[in-house]
Structure 1
Amino acid sequence: MMCKFWLLAVFALCFSGCATNFSSSSPKQEGSALELDGNWLIENINGAGVIDKSHLTAMISGNTISGRAGCNNFTGQISRTIDKISIRKLALTRKMCSPALMAQEQRLIGALESANKLEISKDKPWVWFLSKNQTTSLKLVKINDGNITKPAASNNTLRAVDLNTKNKQDDKSSEHHVFHCATLGRIEMRFLGPETILLTLPEESVILQRDRSASGARYKSESNSENDSESFSFWNKGHEATLLLKNTTYSCTH
């Protein structure tokens, strides 16, 4: 009788150990380690790539999400658990753009509002926001020091590029500069490529393209005209810079 008792005890101990190992190796547990806070590029809406150079972005900080929807800026509240997500109280600026950009913007906002499930890649800085029935989806690629995301010219999508594999002419893409702008505060400028920068402002992030017609290193938002109330431009003059943000000019120092 005692022998049977010890056999049952050993069997239970082995079974418990196997169950523990299975739980710790769950893909969901491994994937949940990716931090959502930070800057993201949205490269896919409902299974389709985004319009070339529309540069859809999202910046997540705590329970706040903001970014550029291609035409307008948006902001809202975000909450998450391990694999669930909720985005509420979205607000947008009111600016008209081309019909194609406006249609894409509506799809983006609809996918954000219906986001319910969070899926995270195990080995890449990618996340997917899915609706409850998975009829809408967003794919986001994180921007960080090791993997910079830049526009792909061939297929209207975005791809992650390892800085260590870029050629020498793109070495400047690792540069990161901090400026302090009067009344606005701290802003950060990071090169995504030789002609593209990511400008991180106190409340949002924006991607700007080099303006070849301007003298010096001047960058501006491609979809906006100079007199547009939602326009952005950044003129880097070494240790000084000028930022035009929504018809307000700021003097900045490095």
Structure 2
Amino acid sequence: MKRFLLAAPLVAGLALSACATVGPQATAQLVDREWVVQNIAGQPVLAGSSATLMFGRDNRLTGDTSCNSYFADYTADQSTLTIGNAGMTKRACAPAVMNQEQRFLDVFNAVSHYRIDTAGALHLATPAGATITARAAPVTTYRCSDGSTVRASYPTSDTARVTANGQTIDMRIAVSASGARYVSDDWQWWTRGTTEGLLAPLAPGETLASAPGVTCTAR
């Protein structure tokens, strides 16, 4: 029986041991993309909330339950999916969101199969027939002035997931005079329209980057 292990927010990204790899028959469509959950056990996701899944090629599954962040190991082949014990942060949210989180966990803990339908939707299923349905968040690839590549997706209107230099960074929206600015504890991603972005490090204590960063242009 799988279980969730509570973890303090600062250590939510610590890995559980991984002892297997993604099966050779695992569809390339499953991995390395942000899946935004739309329906949990027959109920649509609450407006303004976000539950997500991201299957890495390193057998790491990460995302949000609606209220908390989680991490787990997984193995997959063409249709079967096994998710190991997971770690999770321990924030409290509004009762409706907590109820949705529990529905997510009830299905997540029992998932045994997956499929991606012809419309591109991901369906995770339990032996009893309960499902989680998700769609891939669009990803924009940028070429930056220092020669690096940045990939960005926006699971919700208030969040961004940026991958740069082999690191995936989850960010939240922040106040900006123009464009859309997202920050994590260490990084700032500032977009202007859909074609340009600026990635800059945040110094300790900063909420607005003083470093010039690198300018990135969408491919």
Matched to 1:124, the amino acid is A
Partner SS, residue 38 of structure 1: coil
Residue in 2 that maps onto 1:109: 105
Residue in 2 that maps onto 1:199: 161
Matched to 2:78, the amino acid is I
Matched to 2:142, the amino acid is H
In the alignment, is residue 177 of structure 1 matched against residue 177 of structure 2?
A: no
Q: 1:205 to 1:138 in 2, by over 3 A?
A: farther
Residue in 1 that maps onto 2:176: 214
Q: 1:102 to 1:111 in 2, by over 3 A?
A: same
Partner SS, residue 105 of structure 1: helix
Residue in 2 that maps onto 1:56: 51
Give the 5 Å matches for 1:140-179: 140-144=134-138, 176-177=141-142
TM-score (norm 2): 0.63
Residue in 2 that maps onto 1:138: 132
Partner SS, residue 132 of structure 1: coil
* 1:116 Cα deviation after fit: 0.8
* 1:177 Cα deviation after fit: 3.0
Contact 2:107-2:126 within 8 A present in 1 as well: yes
Query: Equivalent pairs: percent with the same residue?
Result: 16
Residue in 2 that maps onto 1:11: none
Contact 2:125-2:132 within 8 A present in 1 as well: yes
Residue in 2 that maps onto 1:16: none
CA distance in 1, matches of 2:70, 2:48: 18
Q: Deviations over 1:40-74 (max 9, x none)?
A: 11111001110112122211112111012222211
Count how many residue pairs are aligned between Structure 1 and Structure 2: 180
In the alignment, is residue 74 of structure 1 matched against residue 64 of structure 2?
A: no
Q: Deviations over 1:194-251 (max 9, x none)?
A: x666423456564755x5x531224459xxxxxxx99x9744486644567xx88675
CA distance in 1, matches of 2:106, 2:167: 22
Q: 1:46 to 1:80 in 2, by over 3 A?
A: same
CA distance in 2, matches of 1:248, 1:76: 31
CA distance in 1, matches of 2:201, 2:41: 35
Q: 1:205 to 1:113 in 2, by over 3 A?
A: farther
Residue in 2 that maps onto 1:253: 214
Residue in 2 that maps onto 1:124: 119
Partner SS, residue 108 of structure 1: helix
CA distance in 2, matches of 1:112, 1:214: 37
Matched to 2:37, the amino acid is I
Residue in 2 that maps onto 1:189: 152
- Give the number of the structure whose residues are more often helix, by fraction: 1
Partner SS, residue 99 of structure 2: helix
TM-score (norm 1): 0.55
Matched to 1:52, the amino acid is A
CA distance in 2, matches of 1:89, 1:204: 22
Residue in 1 that maps onto 2:7: none
CA distance in 2, matches of 1:41, 1:189: 14
Residue in 2 that maps onto 1:25: none
Contact 1:78-1:86 within 8 A present in 2 as well: yes
Partner SS, residue 112 of structure 2: strand
Residue in 1 that maps onto 2:90: 94
Q: Deviations over 1:140-166 (max 9, x none)?
A: 212356xxxxxxxxxxxxxxxxxxxxx
Of 125-134 and 43-52, deviating more is 125-134
Q: Deviations over 1:174-202 (max 9, x none)?
A: x543669xxxx975334689x66642345
